[in-house]
Structure 1
Amino acid sequence: MLRKLVASVVVVAAGMPAAQGASAEDGTVNVLYAGSLVNLMERSVGPAFGKETGLHFQGYAAGSNKIANEIKGKLRRGDVFISASPKVNTSLMGAANGDHVTWYVNFAESPLMIGLNPQSRFAAQFKSKRWDQVLQEPGIRIGRTDPKLDPKGAFTVDMMNKAAELYHEPDLVQKALGAPDNPEQVLPEETLVGRLQSGQLDAGFFYSTETSDLKIPAIQPAPELKAKASYTLTILNDAPNANGAARFVDFLMSAKGRALLKQHGVDVVKPTVVGNVQSIPPSVQAVVDAAQ
């Protein structure tokens, strides 16, 4: 089912850019979001937002950096952008970066985990050995995202480098991951869960929202290795449907929206605003203030 869901998201996105400018006219709000939030957005937040407002949610999921690159390259337009790292927003701020973003709100977090396929022939080893040792086993199929296109991919490489130091295993990264862009492991974020669940992977790197939401068995690394997504949201400066975008942000930051986030394993945090506060729509500022 999830693979069908992911396919539908990609098909919708493939209709760009011709349909992008229609959102203000047809009541559609285009939300570009980190691929780790596919299940949350498409099955929960999107439908709930539509029921609450009568507007149509249209989502596009991909690695946060990939989406930012498409925005900067004018390959994709949207109303709302939800990233898994504040640094991605920074890359869209200022005249040198196209002035696509003026402000953003940090609103949630999700730790990085090692998700497991319980049917894998390596499943038993994860119970008897430390996870980093199992990831070095010959033949194990590991999935992760591109560190150049997705914060999760960068967090994965960083965490493995820290693990190599912590466990005194200088060859850990090479044996477990290979090259940073190893084509045998690097996959689009929005397809990673489906590949693990279908048995194409033995293990992979996921945020807790993914493993908790979809009941994927997972291992949380030692506290010294902790890495996490820091989810942010903003309304893009050239949003075709700025009013609809504000209503979506209002909904997501409301008590009802925050409850949905918690239900899907996302750690809701006290919202903080970065950038030009004066540019934030009054309704968004009000809902942010209410959540603090």
Structure 2
Amino acid sequence: MIRKLLASTVTPIVLIAGIVTATPVFAQSDTVNVLYAGSLVNVMERSIGPAFEKATGLPFRGYAAGSNKIANEIKGKLRRGDVFISASPKVNDSLTGAANGDHVTWYVNFAESPLMIGYNPQSRFAPQFKSRRWDQVLQQPGIRIGRTDPKLDPKGAFTVAMVTRAAELYHQPDLVEKTLGVTENSEQVLPEETLVGRLQSGQLDAGFFYSTETSDLKIPAIRPAPELQAKASYTLTILSDAPNRDGASSFVDFLLSAQGRALLKQHRVDVIKPTVSGNLQAVPPSVQAVIDAAAQ
């Protein structure tokens, strides 16, 4: 029995180039599972996640997808997590209240990111984006456009709304049809977490992205006219059935701290004064304290 216990708790030893190193072992219950909007995949996996692990010693595990898709999976009990980060406050409504499983009782608005039209600089259409209005370029025959599903991701819904408003602003009643086709156009609609990669690899000529994606990854982009502006409004919450509530609080504390906000800014996320919606009494004291500090 003693031998089995020691075998289960000992830290594995790894020999690398003649140097003996200890590989830390975390209990699975220590892992903080963060479900987040796919537009944040770069900042979360390359910056926030590793920095959180270094600062707290807690392992980070991220899952990226369209915000509505994640909410549907939570509601359908297909996926569990500790923290949920959405690109739109409205997504939280689908998880609020007894009829929706009471998964969300409060959330914090903490950052924003405007919607842009990004393009591949190697595309044959790239020069046109420098000399013509974006809607005119997107109507060119043969151009390959990427966007997310408006039913699964706020960015997809913002895209359709923005092009619809552009049709009115530029007096082009058929603009949506010529650029996007039908709402569920299978040739354009792609998972949010793969959209950037497809553009960078040349599979797409242009697409709709948030500014954090285009700035962070050096994707050339066009910002639409102010009258057409749409933007992500990022929110975070600790899910009511979070398996690791202490770890979740630690992650939220870190993300809203001066260090976390600085990392977001480095990745061109527009950090705003955090505001709480919902049941204020349900917000953990440590989270409320860091919100108060960030608001000063």
TM-score (norm. length: structure 1): 0.92
SS in 1 for 2:126: coil
Is contact 1:107-1:269 (8 Å) kept? yes
- Contact conserved, 2:37 with 2:87, CA < 8 A, in 1? yes
User: What pairs with 1:1-292 in structure 2 (closer than 5 Å)?
Assistant: 25-292=28-295
Q: Distance in 2 between the 1:111 and 1:37 partners?
A: 13
- Residue aligning to 2:7: none
2:13 is matched with: none
Q: What's the CA shift for 1:127?
A: 1.4
Query: Offset at 1:177?
Result: 0.3
2:79, 2:28 → 1: CA distance? 18
Inter-partner Cα distance in structure 2 for 1:25 and 1:179: 44
Aligned residues: 270
CA change 1:105–1:85 in 2 (3 A) is: same
Alpha-carbon separation, structure 1, partners of 2:130 and 2:52: 41
Write the deviation string for residues 65-100 of structure 1: whole angstroms up to 9, x where unpaired. Answer: 000000000000000000000000011000011100
What amino acid maps onto 2:169 in structure 1?
L
Q: Which amino acid aligns with 2:49?
A: G
Query: 1:12 corresponds to which residue?
Result: none
Q: Segments of 4+ in structure 1 off by > 4 A?
A: none
Give the secondary structure class of the aligned counterpart of 2:39.
Answer: helix
1:111-160 per-residue CA deviation (whole Å, 9 max, x = no partner) reads 00000100001011111211000100110000000000000000000000
Cα contact 1:24–1:240 (8 A) shared by 2: no
Letter aligned with residue 81 of structure 2: G
**Contact 2:32 2:247 (8 Å CA) reproduced:** yes
What is the CA distance between 1:25 and its match in structure 2? 4.5
Aligned residues of 2:29 and 2:244 also touching (Cα < 8 A): no
Give the number of the structure whose alpha-carbon radius of gyration is greater: 2
**Identical-pair percentage:** 84
TM-score (norm 2): 0.90
Partners of 2:133 and 2:37 in 1: CA distance: 30
Long gaps (5+) in structure 1: 1-22
SS at match of 1:124: helix
- SS of residue paired to 2:183: coil
Distance in 1 (alpha carbons) for counterparts of 2:245 and 2:164: 42
RMSD: 0.9
What is the distance in 1 between the residues matched to 2:179 and 2:70? Answer: 28
Contact preservation (8 Å) 1:24, 1:241: no
Residue 254 of structure 2 aligns with an amino acid whose one-letter code is F
Separation in structure 1 between the aligned mates of residue 60 and residue 208 of structure 2, nearest angstrom: 28
